[in-house]
Amino acid sequence: MSEGINRRIVLQGASAATIMAILRGEHAVAATPRKGSGKARGTLPFAGNQTVTTLIPDRLYRIGCVVKAERLSWLPEDINAFEPLNAYLLTDGENCIFVDTGSAIMLPAIKSALDIIDGRQVRVYFTRNEADTIGNLGYILGTCENPIMLFGSAGGILEWVNDPAVSILEVRNFLGRIAVENARNGVKRDIGSFAFSYMEAVTKQMGMTQWAYEASTKTLFTACSFGWRHLATADAPTVIQSASNLPSVDVVAREIVAKCNWMREAVFPERIEAFEKVFRDHDIEILAPVHGCVIRGREAVTAHVNLAIKAMHVASKLQDTERLRYV
């Protein structure tokens, strides 16, 4: 156990095979971490638009790639655009903290980000238990030396992986080697020079979804929320710093319900009030979703928050197309 967390809760309900990504050969926990300069790197290009982009020098990086939006199940089918897929890395003199690890297709960018670690203590946190947030979790835990997992969710962390080659004995061995620290809703904790607050995600589809706020960078990590800013071309900037040229309220509402289908024909004033409260209570200058563009700057954040609130009101008036199939 670590910090009052029973490790068995972490994998509750998962089969022995679900942690194969961590336990197979190249993912051995004792592997030597990759070395690098540890300095701000700007953008490091890879084939397929795999990049590590500096958001705050020596402090916060966006890691990810760009894919065609039409391939993604959480978007309306007729979107003609490109979608950034994102993970994040926070660094100070002693610590490196991954916030979400992205889809497996992002592995080249994740490998590049490991060069920044340079021997520092690695922690990994994920906002929810889905493939676009934990797709590289096993690789990071298995590649970095003595990693620590920040855990605030529930259920089997890799239950979407199924490989019958992994035995129950290997599962028990995994439970004994990865340290786990508490990141439950309502927890506030300092890690080095970082100050985290973990909270329930206000807008979400999956029940056990969190948001995380880091005070020194003024960043709100929003899981799948605020994922509706796309790219016109695959090589366009993945960071938006302007409050102009926003999508329409109707377009955003349509995208929100494509992900959160419970909003259609629903009334949820308490959710909207909770949403507004998060932005009253926290000084936020960066919105960091796992898909869609990063939104940076106080003016840009305010404009996108106001747009999201308007879109939620519109979303509740949209017809439930699934219900209409049975009318």
Q: Domain coordinates of the chain in residue numbers? A: 7-324
- Give pLDDT, residue 138: 82
Query: What number of CA atoms fall less than 13 Å from residue 229's CA on the CB side?
Result: 29
- Give pLDDT, residue 324: 67
CA pair distance 215, 130, nearest whole angstrom: 26
On the 0-12 / 13-18 / 19+ scale of CB atoms within 10 A, 104 is middle
What SS3 string covers the chain? CECCECHHHHCCCCCHHHHHHHHCHHHCCCCCCCCCCCCCCCCCCCCCCCEEEEEECCCEEEEEEEEEHHHCCCCCCCCCCEEEEEEEEEECCCEEEEECCCCHHHHHHHHHHHHHHCCCEEEEECCCCCHHHHCCHHHHHHHCCCCEEEECCCCCCCCCCCCCCCCHHHHHHHHHHCEEEECCCCCEEEECCEEEEEEECCCCCCCCCEEEEECCCCEEECCCCCCCCCECCCCCCCEECCCCCCCCHHHHHHHHHHHCHHHCCCCCHHHHHHHHHHHHHCCCCEEECCECCEEECHHHHHHHHHHHHHHHHHHCCCCCHHHHCCC
CA pair distance 85, 44, nearest whole angstrom: 15
Domain 7-324 belongs to what topology?
Metallo-beta-lactamase; Chain A (3.60.15)
Which of 1-5, 216-220, 263-267 is the most confident on average?
216-220
CA pair distance 1, 293, nearest whole angstrom: 37
pLDDT score of 166 more than 80: no
CA pair distance 299, 302, nearest whole angstrom: 5
Q: To which residue do tokens 């080249």 refer? A: 108
> 113-149: per-residue pLDDT in tens?
999 999 999 999 999 888 888 888 888 888 888 899 8
198: β partners: 212
The predicted model scores a pTM of 0.80
Radius of gyration for the alpha carbons in the chain, expressed in angstroms and rounded: 19
> 237-293: per-residue pLDDT in tens?
999 999 999 999 999 988 888 887 877 878 888 999 999 999 999 999 999 999 999
Q: Which of 180, 192, 264 is nearest to 8 (CA)?
A: 180
Average confidence score pLDDT of the chain:
79
Which of 21-25, 137-141, 205-209, 258-262 is the most confident on average?
137-141
Mean pLDDT of 180-187: 90
Token pair for residue 32? Answer: 């030597």
- Give pLDDT, residue 196: 98
User: Contact at 8 Å (CB) between 225 and 315?
Assistant: no
